[in-house]
Chains A and B, each alone.
Chain A
Amino acid sequence: MAISFDTHPDRYKHWTLEVDGARATLTLDVQPHGGLRPDYELKLNSYDLGVDIELADAIQRVRFEHPDVKVVVVSSGQQRVFCAGANIPMLGSSTHAFKVNFCKFTNETRLYLEDASERSDLKFIAALNGTCAGGGYELAMACDHLLLIDDGSSAVSLPEVPLLGVLPGTGGLTRLVDKRKVRRDRADVFCTTSEGVRGKRAVEWNLVDEIAPRSKFEEAVDARAKAFIDAAGTARGPAITLDPVAPTIDDDGHLQYTHVTVELSAATRTATLRVRTPDTAQPTTADEIQAAGAAQWSLRAFRELDDALLRLRMNHLDIGLVVVRAEGDVDAVLASDKALHDNKDHWLASEILALQARVLRRMDLTSKSFFALVDEGTAFAGSLLELALASDRIYMLEDEDEAVTIALGPANAGAFPMTHGLSRLEARFMAEPSFVGRALERMGERLAASEADELGLITVAADDIDWEDDVRIALEERVSLSPDALTGMEASLRFPGAENADAKIFARLSAWQNWIFQRPNAVGPEGALTKYGQPDRPTFSWTRC
C-alpha cells in the first residue's frame, strides 16, 4: 500500500487544529478504526503513521498559514488519557523496515516541533489531561512546557522496557537526560517503572514542568499560554496558504511534481531524483516574497523534494541508490537564494530557509545511497549544491569548455545545519577546517570540475571519455553491496564531529532501537513485542550482548 503524505486540516481524522488569535490548540482524538491499515485498532489515543502525518502537517501549517500564532497547546480530546504512544499491535504486525521508517518519521516530526520553537517564535505546551505513556510522553517532551493533571492517578511513563522489551525510541531516552536533564539514576528508575510517575514527584524529578488539579487545569493551561504569548515577539505574517504538492504518479510509478521528478528503475534498484531550477522570474524583495507565497520556487521545490524523499523511503524500499541531479540554470538558483538571504528577517523568507534546512536534514537521514551527478545541464548551486554536499559522493564531468560548473552561495555558509549542528561544508572538512573558508571565499563564482576538485568539493572529476564508465561502474557496484551495511556505514560517515541531543536520537537511540527491533527478545516468536496483547507471555533469552 503506497502511503501519501498529503493531507489538510479539513481532512484530518485524528487531530483538530483550532486557531484563536495568538493561540492554536492541537487536539488529539484518535479514531480507533481510522488507522492506515485495518488490522489494528487505535485505542487510548495511540497513534500510527497516519496520525503522525497529520501532526507534521499541522505543525507546518501553523508556521506558514498561522504565522501570528505564538503558542500551540497540544492536548487530548479523550477523557483521562492524553496519549498512549505508538500503537503496539500496529508495531507488532509491521515489517522491520516499516517500523524503522515509522520511527524515523515520528522522530523528525518531534524535532520539527522543536525547530518551530527555536526558529519561529512559537512555544508548545503539552497539556497532559490524562495518562501520558510511551510515545505520548515523548511527544510531550518535545514541547517547551509540560503541564500534567494532578488527579492522583494520571502519570507520565516510559513503559517500553518493562512492558514491551523495546526502547522509548522517539527521542524519549535522549530527551529525558539530555533535554530535561533528569538525573540518570532517576531516569533509570523511571524507564523501568511501567506505571510511571505522577504528581509532585513528576515535578521534583523534572519529568514535567508543572502540575495542576483537574478543577484548575484549564486555568493553568490558559495562564501558561498567556505567559508565552506575552513573552513572544511581535506578530508575524500575513499568512500564506500551502497548496497541495502531491505528485502525479504514472504507470511506472514515476513521480512528477512541478519542479521535481523521481524516475524509478526497479531492475537496477536505483532512482533518479531531478530538481529543476526556477524557469520564471522569482521574487527579490520582501514584498515579492510575501506576494509569491507558496508558489515561489524556493518553497515549492523543497516541499516537493520533501514529499519525494518520504515517498522514496516509505513506498520504495528496494531502491538502494538515488542519483541526484539539479538541472537548469545556476544563476536562477543563486538569485532565488539571494532573495531569501537578503530578506531573512522577513518572516516568510525565514520560514522558507528553515523548511529548506529541514528537508536537507531529512535527506541526510534517509537510508539510501545518494550520488550527485554533475554534468551538462546541471545547476548545483547554493541551496541545490547542498543536495550534492548531502550526497555520499559527487561525480563531476570535467568538460573541455568548462560549461559544467557548480557555485557556492550564502546557502552553503551555515544556513542549513545538519542534525548535529555542523554545516555540510564543516562536516566535509573535518581535517582542514580552513578549507571551509577557502571554499566560501569563492562564493558566487562558477567553479569548473578542476577547481571544484582542488577545493575538495567533489569526489571524482571525470573527463568525457571516462565519465560514462566511471559513473556506470560506480552505480552498479554500489547497488551490489549489502543494504544493511550501507545504511550503517552511511549513517556513520555522513555525520563526522560531535553529537548533540538531536543527533543522538538517530545515531544512538534509533540505532539501538533498530537493533532491538531485530532481536528475538522483542520480535521472535516468544518476544515481548510479539506477545503483547496475546494470551501468553514472552520468554527471553538471557544472553547480554
Chain B
Amino acid sequence: MSLTDSIPNNVDLGSDRKLLRALEKWQPKFIEWWLEMGPDGFQADDIYLRTAIDVDPKGWATYDYVKMPDYRWGIFLTPRNEDQFVNFGDNAGQKAWDEVPGELRGILRRIIVTQADTEPASVEQQRQLGKTAPSLYDLRSLFQVNVEEGRHLWAMVHLLHQYFGRDGREEAESLLERRSGDVDKPRILQTFNETTDEWLSFFCFTMFTDRDGKYQLAALSESGFDPLARATQFMLTEESFHLFTGETGIERIVQRAAELSLQDPNNDARAQGGVDLPTIQKWINFWFSSAVELFGGEISSNAADYFATGLKGRYREKAKYEDHSALRDIYEMNVLRDGKLSQEEVPLRNALNEVLRDEYVADCARAVRKWNHTIKKTGFEFELALPSRRFNRSMGMYAGASFDPQGNPITPEQFEANRSKWLPTAEDRAYVKSLMVPVTEPGKIANWIAPPKKGVNGQPFEFEYVRFNRN
C-alpha cells in the first residue's frame, strides 16, 4: 500500500509534495518509535479499535479489529465552509491565517511543540499497563487511548511539516527522540515524565492530566492560525473518549470501593481486596495537583502574548465572551503575602492561564460530585473532595509555600506531618500495585473495579475486545 493510501486524510495528501516528502521520512521513524515505546507485548494482537477514516460522524468512529502497528493514523482537519477570522486579541477581525505569519513563527512553534510532546509522552508512560488490565474492556480502552494519542501526535506533526519548513521537520524528529522519564532526553513537561504503572494512576491520568489537554486543545481550537484551530477541533472529538475513560474508570473504582466497604465488617475495602476510598482520595490529590501545574504560571506574560497575538483563546472564547480584547478587565487573584492569602488585581490578559484553570477546576469538581453521588447510591457514607489548586504545587505562584488540601496556608512542618495522610505513600503505591493482576477472560473483571455500565460501540461488556495471537 502506498503512503497516500495507508494514511487516511482530508488534507489532499496525495498531491502535496511537501507533506509527502516529510512524511516519507517521518512515518517509518514513527513506526519504529511505536514498536519500541508503544504498548509492550500486545503489538501482534487484534484490538477492537476505532479508527478515524473521515471527519464526519460516520467516518471518525469506524470500529474493527486491527493490530496496533497497522493502525491507520490519519491526518484530519475539521472542514470549513466559510471564511474564518481571528476572533480575539489585537488582531481580532482580521482574516484568520492559513499560513504561519513570520512574526508569530517562534511563539506558534512553541505552542505546537509543547502540545505535541505530550502525545507520545503519555503512550510511553503507559506502555507497561496492558500487562495488568482489569478486563478486556479496559485493555481495549487503554489501547484506544494510546493509538489516538499517536494520531494526535500525527496531527501536530502535520502542522510542523506543513507549515514550518526544515525547522518543523527537525522538531517533528525530536518528538520521537525524547523519552518520558529519560534522564537525558526527558519530555518537556514534568508531569509527562512521571510513571503511570498501575491502573488507578492510568484513570487519574486520563481524568486529570488529559483533561488539561482538553482545555488546552479547546483554547487552541479558537486560534487565529486556522490549521491549528481545525486540527485541535478534531482532536477534541477523540479526546472526549479519553476523558470518559478516566472519569468512568475512577467512578467504577469508587463504586467498587464503596460496595466492598459495605461488605466488610470494619468497612475496610482493603480487607476485601479493593482500593479503599481514602486511598483514592490520595490519588486524586496527587494527580490533580500535578495536572493543575500544566496550565502554567498564574501571572504569565506568555499567556498574554498567546492571547494578544490571537493564537490561543479562552475556553469557548467565541461562544462565551462578548469582549474579545480582554484588555479592559482585571482578574482577582488569590496571592500569598506575608503568610496570608489576599486578593490582588491582575490585568486579565496576564491571568489567562488562571482563567483556563478555573474552567478546568470547575469541571473536575463536577466529576467529584458525580463520584460522591455514586458512593451515596451504594448506601455507604463517604465524601471525596477535590483539593485546592494551591495544594502541593511545585511550579507557579504557590510553589515553595505550603497549603492544606482546602487551600489554607500552613507551615512546611504541618505539611510534612500530614503528607502521608494527603498523598500516596510508598506503601500505598505498593498496595495498589499488588492488586494489579491481569484479567483476560471476556466478561470477567478484577475485584477492585466495577464493570462498566455498557460496552463499546453497542457491544456488550462480555465482547472479546482483544483477540490474543499468542503461541
Using CB atoms and an 8 Å cutoff, list the residues of chain A in contact with chain B. Answer: 150-153, 162, 193-195, 213-216, 532-537
Contact = CB atoms under 8 A, between A and B. Distances in A.
Given A153-B188, A536-B349, A214 B183 contact: yes
Contact of A535 (B183, B304, B309): B304
Per CB-CB distance, the 9 closest pairs between chain A and chain B, nearest first, are A535-B349, A213-B184, A533-B301, A535-B347, A194-B106, A152-B185, A537-B308, A152-B178, A535-B304
B410 interface: no
B162 to A, nearest CB: 20
Contacts of A195: 106, 109-110
A193, A216, A534 interface centre (most CB from chain B within 10 Å): A534
Contact of A536 (B184, B185, B186, B308): B308
B327 A536 contact: yes
B305 interface: yes
Contacts of A214: 183-184, 186
B433 to A, nearest CB: 26
Given A535-B308, A535-B327, A537-B90, A215 B183 contact: yes
Contacts of A532: 301
A152 B301 CA distance: 24
A96 to B, nearest CB: 23
Which one of A152, A153, A215 has the greatest number of beta carbons of chain B within 10 Å?
A: A152
A43 to B, nearest CB: 9
A355 B110 CA distance: 46
Contacts of A536: 90, 304, 308, 327, 349
Contacts of A534: 301, 304, 347, 350
Contacts of B185: 151-152, 213
Contacts of B109: 195
A151 B326 contact: no
A262 to B, nearest CB: 40
16 contacts: A150-B184, A152-B177, A153-B178, A153-B186, A162-B106, A195-B106, A213-B183, A213-B185, A215-B183, A532-B301, A534-B301, A534-B304, A535-B326, A536-B327, A537-B308, A537-B309
A195 B111 CA distance: 12
Interface size classification for chain B = 20 to 34
Contacts of A537: 90, 305, 308-309
Contacts of B301: 532-534
Nearest to A535: B349
Among B90, B305, B327: residue with most chain A CB under 10 A: B305
Contacts of B327: 535-536
Contacts of A533: 301, 304, 350
Nearest to A201: B170
Contacts of B304: 533-536
B348 interface: yes
Contacts of B186: 151-153, 214
A84 to B, nearest CB: 12
A418 to B, nearest CB: 40
Contact of B106 (A151, A152, A193, A215): A193
Given A214-B186, A533-B301, A535-B348, 18 more contacts: A151-B184, A151-B186, A152-B174, A152-B177, A152-B185, A193-B106, A195-B106, A213-B185, A215-B184, A532-B301, A533-B350, A534-B347, A535-B326, A535-B327, A536-B304, A536-B308, A536-B327, A537-B90
Contacts of A153: 178, 186, 188
Nearest to A212: B184
Contacts of B106: 162, 193-195
A532 B184 CA distance: 33
A537 B310 CA distance: 11
A69 to B, nearest CB: 30
Interface string B305-323: 1001100000000000000
Contact of B350 (A193, A194, A216, A535): A535
Contacts of A193: 106
Contacts of B309: 537
A536 B305 CA distance: 7
Interface in B104-119: 106, 109-110
Interface in B177-191: 177-178, 183-186, 188
A537 B106 CA distance: 15
Nearest to A217: B184
A440 B124 CA distance: 75
A504 B326 CA distance: 45
A195 B302 CA distance: 13
Contacts of A162: 106
Nearest to A41: B299
Contacts of B308: 535-537
Interface in B308-365: 308-309, 326-327, 347-350
A250 B178 CA distance: 62
Nearest to A198: B174
A507 B348 CA distance: 43
A534 B178 CA distance: 33
A339 B304 CA distance: 62
